[in-house]
């Protein structure tokens, strides 16, 4: 069967009443979660993940994916109306969108971003569909050495492309991998770092780590900062939501550029939607004939980044589905969910579970249409929903975190562990350690260790196995390059700048 036939088969799965319902629930939750500052997509997915344990995996992944891309749409609402980005990927939208809202163009900003998100999301899914099969076919050539080289590339990309301190990212990855080693060793069966505690013998489930760090950690931060939102009383009637012809014309190319850029950035293991949005904003400002308007409500600064962050979500699905490598914190949590459902993401997923994969891809088309309707037609309703007191919402997040961690193994120990990780997550935020690489490492750690040790056992301890095959050696060289390139680049820039200063 070719890609088109598989997509049709996917639609027959995605359009069943139950899967449509799960997709709609995911999109609505996602929009709401994205709009709430402090609860990002990874938090929403982690907290609601336990609800999918008893569900059919296809329905479960359709709901989680709905939360993921729905949150990108939702992040715009508070960016424009409150000047507080609901999602980190909507930071640039807050800069321009809020200025537009002050001029009475909030409706236009929200509509342009919804349409841009729809176009980018839909084209991104086409890109995912076209790339998924060839990349997964390529992935079939991966043995343990190639797989480990790919993990190494993913980890070094996290460090190399880190927006925070590289040392802190390295520490976060090492801590995550250490958490993943707790419990019985998968190859020898020996207990590691369990301190004689029977509850730790089976290891620490990634859901407990993710729910604690993203859920309780964020709640603690929100309470410490006593978060309150003050909405801009902007006109949001039916007539006010339509942009003018001039605004549409100004938004067209930023949407196209944002879509392409976002998809490409989303595919990279460490980059994701936030980096894509920042890069798109920079590109639009550089290409603009009126760069002085940026910062004062330039619609290009809304259209580009919003399109980029949505196509990045589709891009991030490419390495997740085809190679089992998450491209963002949200897809890292989703990768963990795959494992809980007994599915191994990677090349074989397409041949062994076609309904699951193609049902998900088709649901993303459906979800984008649904989100466009939701985000253009029901913005005033979402704004009303956001007026729910923040403390009440946070109390419910705590309850869901507790219920979710109990649902993993029916143990109170798991809940205490989750709370402990919540405190760790809070401390990491306060000390500026990135949280996502830790969760990323907890999810990928067990697989990375097994492939590493299998490869070394095959080569009788010789590291040459990682450079023997062309795929592995390319990935290893790539891993070192992404690690070395950013500091070398900044050194080069500093040298150029000092040389220029010397000439002056």
177 belongs to the binding site for another protein (CB under 8 A): yes
- Enter the tokens of residue 475: 């990935």
Pick between residue 167 and residue 351 the one whose CB is nearest to another protein.
167
Name the minimum Å distance from CB 399 to another protein. 5
Length of the chain measured in residues: 504
Judged by CB under 8 A, the stretch of 31-39, 238-246, 256-264, 396-404 that binds another protein is 396-404
By CB under 8 A, residue 462 contacts another protein: yes
Task: Count CB atoms within 10 A of the CB of residue 369.
Answer: 13
CB neighbours of residue 310 within 10 Å: 35
- Is 340 a binding residue for another protein by CB under 8 A? The answer is no
Considering the complex, state which of residue 273 and residue 448 has its C-beta at the smaller distance from another protein. Answer: 448
The contact mask relative to another protein for 182-211 (x = CB under 8 A, - = no) is: ---x-xx-x-xx------------------
Q: Which stretch binds another protein (CB under 8 A): 112-120, 196-204, 371-379, 407-415?
A: 407-415
Q: Which two tokens stand for residue 360?
A: 């998900």
Task: Give, as one character, the DSSP assignment of residue 342.
Answer: T
User: In whole angstroms, how large is the CA radius of gyration of the chain?
Assistant: 22
Q: Of 101-109, 278-286, 449-457, 483-491, which part binds another protein (CB under 8 A)? A: 449-457
Query: Using the rule CB under 8 A, which residue among 196, 237, 342, 461 binds another protein?
Result: 461
Between 297 and 434, name the residue whose CB sits nearer to another protein: 434
> Exactly one of 245, 431, 501, 504 binds another protein (CB under 8 A); which one?
431
Cβ at position 181, least distance to another protein in Å = 6
In the DSSP assignment, the letter for residue 191 is E
Question: Among 15, 174, 340, 471, which residue interacts with another protein (rule: CB under 8 A)?
Answer: 174
Distance, in Å, from the CA atom of 203 to the CA atom of 226, rounded to the nearest integer, reads 35
Which 33-92 residues touch another protein, going by CB under 8 A? 51, 53-55
And the tokens for 89? 């990927």
* Shortest CB 401 distance to another protein, Å: 9
Contacts of 426 by beta carbon, 8 Å cutoff, 6+ apart: 216, 217, 220, 221, 224
Write phi, then psi, for 183 (nearest 5 degrees): 115, -170
Smallest distance from another protein to CB 290, Å:
34
Lay out the site mask for another protein across 409-428 (x = CB under 8 A, - = otherwise). -x-x--xx--x---x-----
Closest approach, Cβ 470 to another protein, in A, equals: 24
Residue matched to tokens 């590493």:
452
Contacts of 133 (CB under 8 A, 6+ apart): 3, 350
For another protein, which residue of 1, 369, 399, 485 counts as binding (CB under 8 A)? 399
Looking up tokens 């401390």, which residue turns up? Answer: 427
Cα separation, 430 vs 433, in Å, equals 8
Verify binding: residue 224, another protein, rule CB under 8 A.
Answer: yes
Q: Does 286 participate in binding another protein (rule CB under 8 A)?
A: no
Pick the binder of another protein from 7, 41, 92, 173 (CB under 8 A).
173
| 8 Å CB contact between 161 and 151 | no
Pick between residue 167 and residue 470 the one whose CB is nearest to another protein.
167
Q: Which of 15, 133, 339, 456 binds another protein (CB under 8 A)?
A: 456
120 binds another protein (CB under 8 A): no
DSSP 33-93: HHHSTT--HHHHHHHHGGGGTTS-HHHHHHHHHHHHHHHHHHHHHHHHHHSS-SSGGGHHH
Distance from C-alpha of 90 to C-alpha of 231, rounded to nearest angstrom? 17
Burial class (CB in 10 A: 0-12, 13-18, 19+), 453: middle
Stretch that binds another protein, among 173-181, 262-270, 469-477, 479-487 (CB under 8 A): 173-181
Q: Within 13 Å and on the Cβ side, how many CA atoms surround 18?
A: 8
> How near is the Cβ of 12 to another protein at its closest, in Å?
25
- CA neighbor of 176 nearest in space, from 447, 476, 405, 409: 447
Number of residues that bind another protein (CB under 8 A): 58
Q: Is the CB of 83 or the CB of 181 nearer to another protein?
A: 181
CB contact at 8 A, 183 and 15: no
Closest approach, Cβ 173 to another protein, in A, equals 7
Q: Among 321, 263, 360, which residue's Cα sits nearest to residue 26?
A: 360
Secondary structure of residue 192 in the 3-state scheme: strand
Separation CA 242–CA 109 (nearest Å): 9
In the region spanning residues 10 to 39, those forming contacts with another protein, defined by CB under 8 A, are none
Q: Residues 143-172: x/- map of binding to another protein (CB under 8 A)?
A: ----------------------xxxx-xx-
Cα–Cα distances (Å) from 252 to 202, 293, 299, 307, 447, in that order, read: 53, 17, 10, 11, 43
What residue ranges bind another protein (CB under 8 A)?
Answer: 51, 53-55, 165-168, 170-171, 173-175, 177-178, 181, 185, 187-188, 190, 192-193, 216, 219-220, 223-226, 389, 391-392, 395-396, 398-399, 402-403, 406-407, 410, 412, 415-416, 419, 423, 430-431, 433, 449, 452-453, 456-457, 459-462
């Amino acid at each position: 069967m070719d890609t088109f036939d598989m997509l049709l088969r996917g639609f027959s799965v995605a359009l069943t009443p139950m899967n449509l319902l799960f997709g709609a629930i995911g999109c609505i939750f996602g929009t709401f979660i994205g709009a709430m500052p402090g609860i990002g997509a990874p938090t929403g997915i982690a907290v609601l993940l336990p609800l999918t344990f008893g569900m059919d995996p296809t329905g479960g992944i359709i709901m989680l994916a709905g939360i993921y891309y729905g949150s990108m749409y939702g992040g715009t609402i508070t960016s424009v109306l409150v000047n507080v980005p609901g999602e980190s990927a909507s930071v640039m939208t807050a800069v321009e969108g809020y200025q537009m809202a002050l001029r009475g163009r909030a409706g236009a900003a929200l509509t342009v971003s919804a349409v841009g998100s729809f176009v980018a999301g839909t084209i991104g899914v086409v890109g995912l569909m076209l790339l998924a099969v060839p990349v997964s076919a390529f992935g079939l050539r991966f043995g343990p050495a190639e797989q480990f080289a790919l993990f190494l590339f993913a980890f070094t990309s996290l460090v190399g492309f880190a927006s925070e301190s590289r040392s802190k990212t390295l520490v976060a990855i090492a801590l995550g991998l250490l958490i993943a080693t707790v419990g019985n060793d998968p190859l020898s069966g020996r207990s590691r770092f369990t301190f004689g505690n029977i509850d730790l013998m089976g290891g620490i489930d990634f859901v407990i780590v993710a729910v604690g760090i993203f859920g309780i950690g964020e709640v603690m931060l929100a309470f410490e900062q006593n978060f309150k939102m003050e909405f801009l009383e902007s006109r949001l009637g039916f007539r006010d939501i339509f942009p003018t012809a001039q605004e549409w014309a100004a938004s067209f190319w930023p949407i196209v550029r944002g879509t392409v850029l976002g998809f490409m950035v989303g595919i990279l293991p460490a980059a994701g939607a936030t980096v894509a949005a920042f890069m798109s904003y920079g590109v639009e400002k550089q290409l603009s004939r009126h760069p002085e308007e940026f910062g004062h409500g330039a619609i290009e600064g809304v259209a580009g980044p919003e399109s980029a962050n949505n196509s990045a979500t589709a891009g991030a699905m490419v390495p997740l589905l085809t190679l089992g490598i998450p491209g963002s914190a949200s897809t890292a949590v989703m990768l963990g969910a795959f494992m809980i459902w007994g599915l191994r993401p990677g090349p074989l997923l397409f041949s062994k579970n076609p309904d699951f994969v193609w049902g998900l891809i088709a649901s993303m088309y459906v979800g984008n249409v649904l989100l466009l309707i939701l985000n253009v037609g029901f913005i005033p309703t979402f704004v009303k929903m956001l007026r729910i007191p923040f403390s009440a919402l946070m109390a419910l997040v705590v309850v869901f975190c507790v219920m979710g961690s109990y649902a993993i193994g029916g143990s109170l120990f798991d809940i205490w562990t989750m709370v402990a990780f919540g405190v760790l997550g809070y401390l990491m935020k306060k000390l500026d350690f990135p949280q996502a690489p830790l969760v990323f490492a907890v999810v990928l750690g067990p697989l990375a260790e097994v492939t590493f040790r299998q490869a070394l056992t095959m080569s009788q301890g010789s590291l040459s196995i990682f450079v023997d095959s062309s795929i592995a050696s390319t990935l290893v060289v790539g891993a070192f390059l992404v690690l070395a390139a950013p500091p070398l680049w900044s050194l080069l820039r500093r040298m150029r700048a000092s040389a220029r200063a010397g000439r002056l």
